[in-house]
Structure 1
Amino acid sequence: MRTKQELGEAIRRERRAALVVNTHSRRGRRLYQGARSRLAAAGFTLLGTYPVDRPDELEQHLAAAADLGPDLLVAGGGDGTIGTAARLLAHRDIALGLLPLGTTNNFARTVGIPLDLDAAVAVLTDGKVIDVDLGLVGDMRFTNHVGIGLSADVMLTAPPRLKRATGRLAYPITALALLARHRPLRATVRAEGREHEVVTHQLYVANGGFHAGRPITADANADDRLLVAYPVGGPTRRELLRDTARNAATGHRRTLGDDPFLAVRQLWLETDPPARVEVDGEPYGETPIRIGLDPNALRVMAAADSPDR
């Protein structure tokens, strides 16, 4: 496999790319042709272009694009699309190019990709290849987070009709409906020889630096060999709502050393009672689970001044 520098030089010199865009979303459908024309105008030879209107075919089209042998696989969509592409490209001699076309775009924010389409294409043209960590739960890699508790219940129970009618608003609507009868869980996190216990409605374990489009802390990122575990609120519903608002407003001022964050390389998590788990918004199963890291697993085209550890 080539070094990052060799792969970056090949991308800048040869401009061999493939494009996959989630056109099932309104924004992806609207911007697909613009993304394709901008990449062509930037000098990229597109070995294949794949507008994907059926979510269940996304992985198949990403695999077909990778099989063409591009140096750069450009994925356009939200965190679900980007996470699927990341799992496919882990430890492969292909860099992932990001066109953030979703709602929160957490992973793109984590690696510093601009949300403007022209600026994102400029990163693909003039940037460099870096490598970042992926989280690992069981044998499943993830880019952003593992959610335990209310978020997983929401993912499993949000009505398809409501999702079609309201898009991502279906999730907070469903969360408010569930919260009235949601019971807190007792979570035990074992890491680095210590045991941490918390009673909460919601617990996250993050690989990246953003959640819901907002910074988790000022110093969390996906290239530090660390996971960040943190509850959102305590046993009462009021605490959950309070801390959700506080996290959104103050994350950029907090650090990994602040309470309640726990920054570790791996952890074992169990709950009483067993709780549902979601991984980057997809149902995964129930606790107990072991969560770890796959260091430097993914190569990403990032801005030329991006840090690379």
Structure 2
Amino acid sequence: MRTKAELEAAIGSGGRAVLVINSRSRRGRRLYGRARRLLREAGLEFVHVFPVTDPTRLRELFADVLALEPDLVVVGGGDGTVAEAVGHLAHRDIALGVLPLGTTNNFARSLELPLDLPGAVRTLAVGAAGGGKVADVDVGWFQSTGDPQGEGPGADREHIFANMVSLGLSVEVARKVPHTLKRVLGRPAYALTAVRLLPRHDAFTAHVTIDGETTSLQTHQLNVANGAHHSGQRIARDASPDDRLLAVYRLGDEHRMRLASATARHVLTGPWRSLEDDAFLTTDRVEIATDPPLRVDVDGEIRGRTPVSIRLRGNALRVIVPQSFVDR
């Protein structure tokens, strides 16, 4: 493995770069042509470009990407596309660059990337004025019950996640949000779907075990975050994908209306509250069982059910970030 400085120098001097753009993401199809133009104008050349029209092929596509032995893989798309890339690029001598073209762009927000396309492209121009740098950040690893993936050769990578593991109402929202509504409205589509589903959603009991000590709580929503954002909103002012911590927190308790008020507080106070607040449990590993057993959402994809084990893997992923990003 090269040092970060060595990898940064290779990228800045015109190293091998590959571009993957999900043209099915919310903004990918509309901005594909503009993105290619801006990348060319920034001096970024690619040995191969993969426009993705079928997201179900992303997994096999990354085998072709890795065969090109790139120094940099630029991924344009939403959190689902980025999460797929993270699983393939973690623990490799390759940097990930992100063009945030999705609905919530939680991972890009956590990396403090500009969300506008020109700003994101400028950050990717490592070595140029206003360009970014190579940093290494944390990823998560999980193992759930009945997960149909993650078996056979290379199975460990199937368990890596970028941003968050979720249980509860958000899992049902992700499953049932109308695709057309999401494409038209963006993030508000999730809120509208949650309002529709909440009156019929049952609370559950979560048994959260950290360092051998189990805490039991009732809620409609439980999250385990590696990143700093959820639903496009900051979790806490000091949360980071580079802090060697998983943040475990619930929204509300067993009462449905408290979920709504807790979500509102999360949106309003996230930029100011701290991971040291009582609302959070912080750790580098956690075991969660629920009554009843629940589906597990991992970066927007259903991956088995509880019980689920979650671990942190520190500094496992190399990414292009702004110069202002604090690389621990």
Q: TM-score, normalised by structure 1?
A: 0.94
Query: Percent identity over the alignment?
Result: 51
- Is 1:183 paired with 2:202? yes
Q: Match of 1:114?
A: 114
Deviation at 1:196, TM superposition (A): 1.5
Q: Secondary structure at the match of 2:275?
A: coil
- Structure 1: segments with no counterpart, 5+ residues: none
- Is 1:72 paired with 2:75? no
Q: 1:227 aligns with which of 246, 254, 260?
A: 246
Aligned counterparts of 1:6 and 1:151: Cα–Cα separation in 2: 41
Q: Secondary structure at the match of 2:47?
A: strand
Deviation at 1:175, TM superposition (A): 2.4
Per-residue CA deviations over 1:239-271 (Å, capped at 9, x if unaligned) read 000001110111011001112111111011111
Q: Residues 15, 176 of structure 1: CA spacing in aligned structure 2 closer, same or farther, 3 A cutoff?
A: same
Q: Secondary structure at the match of 2:267?
A: helix
Q: 2:221 aligns with which of 187, 202, 206?
A: 202
Q: Residues 218, 117 of structure 1: CA spacing in aligned structure 2 closer, same or farther, 3 A cutoff?
A: same
- Is 1:306 paired with 2:311? no
Q: Residues 159, 92 of structure 1: CA spacing in aligned structure 2 closer, same or farther, 3 A cutoff?
A: same
1:91-240 matches, within 5 Å, as 91-125=91-125, 126-138=131-143, 139=156, 140-158=159-177, 170-240=189-259
Deviation at 1:11, TM superposition (A): 0.3
Deviation at 1:292, TM superposition (A): 0.7
Q: Match of 1:284?
A: 303
Query: Contact conserved, 1:15 with 1:43, CA < 8 A, in 2?
Result: no
Q: Match of 2:146?
A: none
Q: 2:288 aligns with which of 269, 274, 278?
A: 269
Q: Which moved more, 1:166-175 or 1:74-83?
A: 166-175
Q: How many residues align?
A: 309
- Structure 2: segments with no counterpart, 5+ residues: 126-130, 144-155
Q: Match of 2:128?
A: none
Q: Which moved more, 1:188-197 or 1:283-292?
A: 188-197
Aligned counterparts of 1:248 and 1:295: Cα–Cα separation in 2: 27
Q: Aligned AA for 1:13?
A: S
Query: Contact conserved, 1:20 with 1:62, CA < 8 A, in 2?
Result: no
Per-residue CA deviations over 1:212-264 (Å, capped at 9, x if unaligned) read 11110000111111100000001111100000111011101100111211111
Query: Contact conserved, 1:149 with 1:202, CA < 8 A, in 2?
Result: yes
Name the Cα RMSD after superposition.
Answer: 1.8
Query: Contact conserved, 1:15 with 1:44, CA < 8 A, in 2?
Result: no
Deviation at 1:159, TM superposition (A): 5.4
